[in-house]
Amino acid sequence: MALTKITDDPAQIRLYHITHIDNLASIISSRALLSLHQMEQAGIQPRSIAYSHLQERRDAITIPIAPGGDLHDYVPWSFAARSPMLYTAWRGALGNDVRQSDIVHLVSDVRKVRELQLPFIFTDGHPLSSELTTFFDRIDALPSTLDWDVLCAHVWRNTEEDADRKRRRQAEFLIHGAVPWSLVKGIAVQSESMRDRAASLLGMSTHQPKVALLPEWYY
């Protein structure tokens, strides 16, 4: 299955949020994906799949447009599967406790965000690259803002001809505050064992996203 869907219709643009399988039970029981600040306020300690130094930097980035705040006031979504952060897990840079196979993709689209009237912004590249990346709130600008060639590419590393590919591959769709569990339309996993585990966790949920085995979304 393709890593994303090329479209001129903002509503059809797909959104991807990766998280450790250990976090799925908390998401289901809370009936929401929470921003990091909201998880801290609720006393929830998620299983992290991120570099700690990058998390500190995200906490220090002030959003220049409404609804403001910092990056940890938002739930981050990417625009394609097989993200650079997943690559980091695959090569073991996050330690032995974070394996690529334990990470699941939660999948939705912009249409669901608009249906639920959730506040959002988006970027044209990695939000930590503040000198290059721009923040937007006009949804009609979204399709032309994204670099579809880079998003669809299995190989996204920088090249001599284009030293900005990785930044553009890490553009984000940022939803402010809490994201209802009902926004998630599907869950993609790498292995049959993770598919079975995710399906088991969904047994406690009234909302039942489809769980799909998609190893091509992994490294």
**Contact residues for 61 (Cβ-Cβ < 8 A; gap 6+):** 70, 71, 127, 128, 130
Whether 168 has a pLDDT exceeding 90, the answer reads yes
Whether 69 has a pLDDT exceeding 90, the answer reads yes
User: What does the pLDDT read at residue 170?
Assistant: 98
CA 197 to each of CA 23, 113, 213, 218: distance values in angstroms, whole numbers, following the listed order: 12, 27, 12, 18
Q: Is residue 128 within 8 Å of 166, Cβ to Cβ?
A: no
In order, the DSSP letters of 51-116 are: -HHHHHHHHHPBPSSTT-SBGGGEEEEESSSS-HHHHHHHTTTT-TT--GGGEEEEEEEHHHHHHT
For residue 16 the two structure tokens come to 């991807």
Confidence of residue 22 (pLDDT cuts 50, 70, 90): very high
The catalytic position among 47, 58, 99, 111 is 58
The catalytic position among 168, 169, 172, 197 is 172
Q: Is 4 a member of any domain?
A: no
Q: Is 44 a member of any domain?
A: yes
Q: Is 68 a member of any domain?
A: yes
> Edge to edge, what strands does the sheet with 103-109 contain?
135-136, 120-123, 172-176, 74-78, 14-20, 103-109, 186-189, 210-213
Task: Quote the number of domains for the chain.
Answer: 1
Q: Within 13 Å, how many C-alpha atoms sit on residue 157's CB side?
A: 5
User: What mean pLDDT comes out for the span 182-205?
Assistant: 96
Q: Is 5 a member of any domain?
A: no
Judge whether 40 counts as a catalytic residue: no
Confidence of residue 97 (pLDDT cuts 50, 70, 90): confident
CA 137 to the chain's CA centroid: 18
Of all residues in the chain, what percent carry a pLDDT higher than 70? Answer: 100
User: What does the pLDDT read at residue 132?
Assistant: 96
- For residues 194 and 20, what is the distance between their CA atoms, to the nearest angstrom? 11
Note down the domain range covering 105.
10-217
Of all residues in the chain, what percent carry a pLDDT higher than 90? Answer: 93
Angle at 148 between CA 143 and CA 154, to 5 degrees: 150
Judge whether 115 counts as a catalytic residue: no
- Give backbone dihedrals phi and psi of 52, rounded to 5 degrees, phi first: -65, -35
- For residues 170 and 80, what is the distance between their CA atoms, to the nearest angstrom? 9
Beta bridge partners of 172: 78
pLDDT digits (tens, 9 = 90+) for 72-91: 999 999 999 999 999 999 99
Supply the pTM of this predicted model: 0.96
User: What mean pLDDT comes out for the span 128-137?
Assistant: 95
Q: Is 176 a member of any domain?
A: yes
Q: Which helix (H) or strand (E) holds 15?
A: strand 14-20
Angle at 205 between CA 202 and CA 207, to 5 degrees: 100
Q: Is 87 a member of any domain?
A: yes
Q: Is 1 a member of any domain?
A: no
